[in-house]
Structures are given as C-alpha cells and as structure tokens.
Structure 1
Amino acid sequence: MGIRIRKDITCILLSTQLAACMVGPDYVRPQAVSVPMQFKEIKGWKQAQPHDQVLSGKWWEIYKDNRLNELEGQVASANQSLIEAEAQYRQAQHLVQSAESAFFPIINMTGTVNRFKAATGQSVAVSGVRNLFGTVVAVAWEPDLWGSVRRQIEANTGKAQASAATLQALRLSSEAELAQDYFQMKALDAQKALLDEIISTYSKTLDITKNRYAAGVVAKTDVVQAETQLESVRVQAINLGVQRAKLEHAIAVLIGKSPAELGLAPMPLDVQPPSIPVNLPSELLERRPDIAEAERKIAAANAEIGVAKAAYFPTFNLSASNGFQSTTVDTLFTMARRYWALGPAGAALTLFDGGAKNADYKQAIDGYDASVAAYRQTVLTGFKEVEDNLAALRILEEESQVQNKAVATAEQALQQINNQYKAGTVNYLNVMTAQAAALSNRQTSVQIMGERLVASVSLVKALGGGWNEKMLPNADKAGGETKWTDYLIFPVE
C-alpha cells in the first residue's frame, strides 16, 4: 500500500514533465566473459536425480542432519553480521526515497515579528515605534528537465538492489561457513573416537608387553617403546581439543551467541556427501548473489553518468508565495492584509567551474568501466569456484576409495605382525611400525571424509545455494514501503 501511494504521487508529478528529456546512457546489461557450454570438471560427475532437481533455500537439509538443521535455522535471525547487513539494506532503501523526494516541491511557512522606528526625516505614515507582523507560505520547485533526479533514483535503486544481493551473499556465506565448521568438528570427533579406541588397544598391548617382560620373554626396551607409543597417541587426542574448541566457538558466533552459551557434545561422522545438482554455467549468472550484486552496481554506475551529464545543463527554479502582513496581530489574517507573488522564476547555467563538471563526468564513466570489470571478474571467480570444488569432490572420492583399501591392507598387515610377535619371530619395533601405519591410514580416511563434506558445502555455495536473481527486489520494491506519515515534517513511529 505504501509503495503504491509513493508511485501514484510520483507519476502525477512526472506527468507534468512529459516533454522533459533524460540525458545519459540507458542501461544495457554488459556481456559477461565467455560462458562455456558446460563445466570442464563435470566429466564423471554423478548428477543428482532427477536431473532437474534444484537446491532449495534450506540447502543444508540435503545432508539430513537434524542438529545441523537446528543450527542453520538460527543464522538468519541471530547472526549479527546479517542484522547489520539488513540495516544497511534499509539505509539503501531510504536513499531511494530521499532521491524521489526531489520530485516534490518544497513548502516553507514563515512567521515574522518586527518592532522598529523609522529614521528621522523619513516619510512614513505613522511616526515613532511601530510593530509589523507577517506570515508567508512559500513554494519552490525545480522541474527535472534533464532527468538528473530520475537518474539519481535509478542509481540509488541499483545500489539498493545491490545491497539486497550483498545481504543474500552474506547469508549464504554464513550458512556455508557454519556447515563447514560443523563437518570439520564432526571429523575431529571421529578422529578423537579413533584415537580413544587406539589408546585402549595400545594400553592392552602395553599390559601384555609388561607381562611378557616380567616372564622374561621380551626385553625392557619393548616395554619402553610400548609406553612411548601409547603416550604419543594420547598427546594427539588431547591436541584435537584445541581445534575443536575453536570450531565450536566459531559456530556460536555465527548463530549470535557467545562461546560460553553453546556446548556441542561429540558427534559421530555419520554423514555422506550428497549428490548435488549442477546446472549449466550460463545459469550460474542468475544463481549467485555476488554476481547479481556486481551487475546491479553496474546499473547504478551507469545512472551516475546521467546524473553527471545533467549537471552541464541549466537548472530552472519556480517559486510562489502567499502571505499576510499587518501592524497588528488581530488584523493579520484578513483579506485586506493578504499579498501574493509568483516568482521569482530563475534559470542558472554554470559558465566556468575550473573543469569540475568535466572531472565528475569522466569520473562517472571510469566508475562504470570499473564496475563492468568487477562484474566480469566476479563471474570468472564464480566459474573457478565451481570447477575447483567439482574437481575436489571427484578427486577426493577417488582418493577415499583408494584409502579405504589402504586401511584394509594396513589392518591385515598389523594382524599378521601381531601374530608373528606373539610367536617370537619379530621384535616389537615391527609391531610399532605396523600399528603406526594402521593408525595413520585410518586417520587419513577420516580426514578425507571431512574434506569431502567441506568441499560439498563449498560447491553448494559456489552454485549460489538456493538463491535466484528473481528474488531480488524489483525497482518498485527497492525503495521500501512509504506510508503517508512519512510525508509529514516530523517523525511518526
């Protein structure tokens, strides 16, 4: 309703300027860099089924993790960076409204009281000390003949839309960062569980070695080596706590809490990287909010050229006043004391400004060129990020398959070495080597799974999550809602 009121009034004012022109170039979306037919790293990619499946706004639900869903749900409402970005977007909307206010005339009401005495010898109707009361309503209006106001509205609208895209890009980035921290934490928890299992095994091995030493079967060095190996693994397990604490603190901040308010119990690594739908590269231009932000900045920069160009042309000012003037208050508002005036009407044209307008105009053109380059660079970066994560997921999956085989063979080798050690055919050093190899391979397997989950989140982010440029506010909504009370001269909450 508020938007409709503002647009109706604006249309009425614009209808009085139908003959007015609008200088400066009309916006045409620039050509992006060469867009490939498909992503290079898509070969061998397991596409999600059905093929036309798309990511939703709650893209994290594809991981089917209830705790992650709960945490992600708190980002939009409590993340302080998002709250700041939302306030900045509202600021940008109000800048649109501020620019639209230039369509309207300025109305001032003035009341005056004068008490004076005429100079000696001056011919006046009444001599001595006199009072003069006055009140006047003055209207001043500058018609937008060259489109400066319209171009400024266009520029501010583009900036507001860019601010809305910035908000969405920050939201996606925060959601992705939380998911990555979460999966890294689960990977650390899995490593900790693995190390705890190994500590239990090594403790039993140490007990057996001590018994064998007491029986005179093995040397003291075997006991020392077993103790060293056990303590080394305990150190690794303790050290994981530092990394986990940092990740938990980061998650707390992302959901708008202090680290002291959040405690996440250890979690099993029971999530598999899901199939992620990957669309054509051309569709990426419509799905990433940072690309939309860069494109809207081009539109704003293009309109700024028109604003700078309109400054070359003369400005026209129309004014009128209507008021009362009297020597007594009781007769002030009578028709006999009324006066009015049309004008002054004026035109102003700058003849010399030391090159200031030329500099402003060229600066606007340079700003447009810079924004086009920034847009194209953002597109290239978007393609790169998708390719990077497609390659990472494909390669990590291959690595995971090979690593699983390595884990199996290392466990088999350890079992054989243990049997040989019990039989007395090998010394304890061989056992330590086999145990270290088995542990290292199992740790690597867990780390790869964590990297796969993090890479899958990065791919979702690179694809724009569930966003689409159709979600950007259009020109009518970019200025926000205006109520009739906003036109009053004092704020009304």
Structure 2
Amino acid sequence: MRKIVFAPLLALGLAACATAGADYRPPETSAASAPSAQGAFHAAQGGMASNAPPPGHWWRLYDDPTLDALIEQALAANADLRAADANLTRAQAVLREAQAGRTIGTTAEGGASLTRPSGTGESLPGVVGYDLGLSASYTLDLNGRVRRAIEASGADVEASAAARDYVRMSVAAAVARAYVQVCAANYSLRVNQRVVALQRDTADATRRLFRGGRGTAFDVSRAESAVESSAAGLPAFDAQRQNGLYLLATLLGRSPADYPAEVEGCAALPVLGQPLPAGDGAALIRRRPDIRQAERAIAGDTARLGVAMADLYPHVSIGGSLGLSGPLKDFGGGTAFGMSVGPLLSWSFPNRPVVRARIDQADAQVRADLARFDGTVLEALRQAETALETYRRDAERAAALDAARDSAAVSAGQAQRLFRFGRGDFLSLLDAQRSLASAEAAAAAARSQLALDQVAIFLALGGGWE
C-alpha cells in the first residue's frame, strides 16, 4: 500500500527537481539583430557627423564650463532623478525579499487565555492558560520557484537602473536645451537690436532731410513705422530668455525665482569644434537605456513565467516547531511541552485550470515584451535618423540664410548710400532695410535651431547616462 501512495509523490518530486520554465536568452530574431539596424546611419552624410562614438559626457564637447556646471548640478539635485533613484532602491529591496526565500523562515507566537467551563460552579476568574511556540521552515525549492522569483527581481533591478539612466540622459539634454534657449534668445536679441539701431539711424536721417526740405512727412512716418515694427519683436526674445532661465531653475531643483543668474547674460551659442560624433546603429542599441530597460523586462517576465509553471508541481519544505501550552499553574511541566518535525507539502492540484491560466497570462506578457522590445529598438533608430537628417537639412538652410543675410546687408548699405546722395528713392531704402531685418532674424533663428538640433541628436543617440 505504501508503494501505491508514495510512488506517485516520488515521481512528482523528481519531476519538480528541474527548474520550471526556460532559462532566459536575449532575443535572437529581433529588430536589433537585423543587419540594417547594425550599420552606419543613413542620414550621417555630408561631413556633418562622423562614425566616432559619442562620449558619455557629450556636453563637454562644447568646451563650455558654464554648461558643464549646470548639468552636474542638475544630475545631483533634479527631482525626477531623485524619484528614479528611489524606484531603484525599492527594486533592490524587493530583490532582497526574494532572496530571503532561500533562508530559514522562523515564527514565534505566544498568547494567554482565561477560561471558565460552564456548569462547573467554579468562581471567577477561572483558569489562566498560556500557549508559546516557535516554528521554523526551509523551502527545498525543488521546482525552482524561488530561483525564478530571484531572477525576476534581479531583472527588475536592472530595468529600474536603466530607467534611472534614461531619466539622467533626459535631464542632461533638457538642461542643455534650456541653456541653448537662453543663449539663443540673447543672440537673436542682439542681432535684432542691431537692425533696429540701423533703422533708427535711417529714421533720424529722414527727419534731418525733412527739416532741410529734401524729404516728406510721409517718408518720416514710414521710417518711424519700420523702427517700431522691428522693435515690437524684441520683448519676445526677453520672454524666451526668461522662460529658459525658469526652466533651468526647475531642472536644478530650485524654485523659478532662484534661476542661475550667471546664465542670464549668455549671448554666444554653444558650438562644436568637430563633426558631430554619431557612431552606428549597433552602438546605439547597446547604449540606449530604454532599449536595455525593454530587454530586462523580457528577462524578468520570462522568469515570472517559470514562477507560474512551478505551481504545476508540489512545493516541498522542511519544518519543525517547539511549543509550550497548558494552564499557567503547570508552566514548565513536562506535559506542557510539544514538538514536531517533518516535510511539509503543498500542491494546488485541484486548481490546475487556475495555474494554467496564470501560465498563459505570463506567456502572453513575455510575447508582449518581445514586441515592445522590437518597437523600442525601431523607434530609437528612427529618432536617431530623424535627428541627423533634420540637422543636416537645417545646416544647409542655415548656410543659405547666412548667404542671404550677407547679400541683404550689401543691398541695404548700397541703398542707404544712394539715398543719402540723392540717387535713390526712400521706398527702395526701406525695402532693403526691411529685407535685411528679415534676413538677420531668419539667420539667427537658423543658427539657434542648429544648436538645438545637436542636443536632440545626442538625446536620440542615448548619450549622457554613463
């Protein structure tokens, strides 16, 4: 009879000795392994970018101590980074909890009671009793459930670290972008102030000519209108600068009013002294923290699939207990002592449909993770190609606008000389100066956009978290 009872249990125990679920392996047939995803970027052409890998602290390529200091301050005090650090600490604590499943678990219990059996006629308060116990158990983990739980928590820690790195990368880029915004606003303000000063000189000359009988009141009013029209755009640059300063303060973990005053007068755009280092697709896939986070999610959920599969088999542990119980008056007597030791077995055999449903859920989650990983890789490659293509085309546009500005400056100078010596009409002078104002503003905006494009490229390439 014993053979009939224990043979199936022995067979189940031996079957459960193998770790449930498959060991995780990185995806072999994914978007990341495609040859087209591994090579050089298609948009990195024309000498604007190189195949050199971007450095971790890419902002140091600008050789700007102010920018370096701002980013270092933000990485030490940013609120989003503090939250990401706390999430990582929580994941590490969950891992320690899972690892505790490999240790001996102990429980101590104690209680007191007051009883008075009915019908005895005894007077109150009755009999005072006690119950003290100490139990211990150790999970044998024959089916690998604890091991898979530890693997899942370990992958979660690495995913949280990758998420923290992504926040770090984003914060560095946001600080650089806000810094460029402040510098670009001052740069554009200075350019447009020069245009307004030129138009004011023309308006002053027009008034003198009018007083000398060589001009008309209409010429004067048109000259003054041109000055006011150009001057009306100046406050927008002040607002752009101030908003950038407020954003910097927030990124540095300060209130907006406590913005970094040392940046307020920045008027020179950050400039790279070399072709922008872009690397290739393979390096991008290895570098981007969000891709690493997506890959670690697959690893964690693959291990959780093993946890779900482990419930198909019995859970075996070894336990024992010691206890004292009885009336308080007999405390310490031999009859009050009890103990037990032996294997403990639990099995959800009657609920196998529930276990199968949980396995199907975990398997579907792994398949969703694989799809999400592919999507993350493809999106990262698209962002890099888009940022590089935008930068290349904006550079071409900025060069063309610089040439147009230079031509407009020559034309405005010629028109002013012709008008001053009576060989040109006032309308031609105003048109030339209006064209110069527009060309100066467009060229300044294009140069500012190039600086922002560079930051966007470094963000898309995943630099800044190492």
Q: Equivalent residue for 1:111?
A: 110
- 2: CA distance between counterparts of 1:129 and 1:440? 101
Matches within 5 A, 1:476-491: none
Q: In structure 1, how many angstroms separate the alpha carbons of the residues matched to 2:207 and 2:438?
A: 25
Question: C-alpha distance in 1, partners of 2:108/2:270?
Answer: 70
2:255 aligned with 1:244: no
Q: Is residue 86 of structure 2 the alignment partner of residue 84 of structure 1?
A: no
Q: Please show how residues 299-318 of structure 1 align to structure 2 within 5 Å.
A: 299-318=299-318
TM-score normalised over the length of structure 2: 0.88
CA distance in 2 between partners of 1:256 and 1:129 (Å): 66
Tell me the residue number matched to 1:356.
Answer: 354
Aligned residue-pair number: 442
Give distance in 2, aligned partners of 1:240 and 1:90: 43
Q: Tell me, yes or no, if the aligned pair for 1:321 and 1:340 is still in contact at 8 Å.
A: yes
Residue segments in structure 1 that go unaligned for 5+ positions in a row: 1-16, 122-127, 469-493
Percent identity of equivalent pairs: 25
Which residue of structure 2 lines up, in the alignment, with residue 414 of structure 1?
412
Residues 146 and 313 in structure 1, CA contact (< 8 A), matched pair in contact too: yes
Give 1:201 deviation, angstroms: 2.0
Aligned residues: CA RMSD: 2.5
Does the aligned pair in 1 maintain the 2:16–2:314 contact within 8 Å?
no
Which residue of structure 2 lines up, in the alignment, with residue 482 of structure 1?
Answer: none
Per-residue deviation, 1:39: 1.3
1:95-144 superposed Cα distances (whole Å, 9 cap, x missing partner): 111222222332112223334345669xxxxxx95443342211234432
Question: Are residues 452 and 70 of structure 1, via their aligned partners in 2, closer, same or farther at CA, if it must alter by over 3 Å?
Answer: same
1:75 positional shift: 1.1
Counterpart among 218, 222, 237 of residue 221 in structure 1: 218
| Structure 1 residues 277 and 350: alpha-carbon distance in aligned structure 2, compared to 1, 3 A threshold | same
What is the CA-CA distance between 1:360 and the residue it aligns to?
1.7
Q: What's 2:3 paired with?
A: none
What is the identity, as a one-letter code, of the residue corresponding to 2:349? Answer: T
Q: Distance in 2 between matches of 1:43 and 1:196?
A: 36
Contact residue 183 and residue 267 of structure 2 kept, 8 A: yes
1:430-449 alignment runs, 5 A limit: 430-449=428-447
Query: Does the CA contact (< 8 Å) of 1:55 and 1:466 recur in 2?
Result: no
Structure 1 CA distance for aligned equivalents of residues 343 and 24 of structure 2: 37
Match of 1:488 in 2: none
Alignment of 1:227-376 (within 5 A): 227-262=224-259, 263=261, 264-274=263-273, 275-325=275-325, 327-328=327-328, 332-333=331-332, 337-343=336-342, 345-352=344-351, 355-376=353-374
- Aligned pairs for 1:8-407 within 5 A: 20-31=17-28, 32-33=30-31, 34-36=34-36, 37-46=39-48, 54-118=53-117, 129-262=126-259, 263=261, 264-274=263-273, 275-325=275-325, 327-328=327-328, 332-333=331-332, 337-343=336-342, 345-352=344-351, 355-407=353-405
In structure 1, distance between residues paired with 2:16 and 2:350: 25
Q: CA deviation at 1:376?
A: 1.0
Question: How many Å separate the matches in 2 of 1:175 and 1:181?
Answer: 10
CA distance in 1 between counterparts of 2:335 and 2:453 reads 84
Residues 61 and 272 in structure 2, CA contact (< 8 A), matched pair in contact too = no
Give ranges in structure 2 of 5+ residues lacking alignment.
1-13
Task: Work out the CA distance in 2 between the residues paired with 1:397 and 1:344.
Answer: 74
Q: TM-score of the superposition, structure 1-length normalised?
A: 0.83
User: Structure 1 residue aligned with 2:451, among 445, 453, 457?
Assistant: 453
**Is the 1:288–1:467 Cα contact (8 Å) retained in structure 2?**
no
The Cα offsets for residues 441-468 of structure 1, whole Å up to 9 and x where unpaired, read as 1222211111111111111122221546
- Point out the structure with the larger helix share: 2
Partners in 2 of 1:345 and 1:39 — Cα distance? Answer: 60
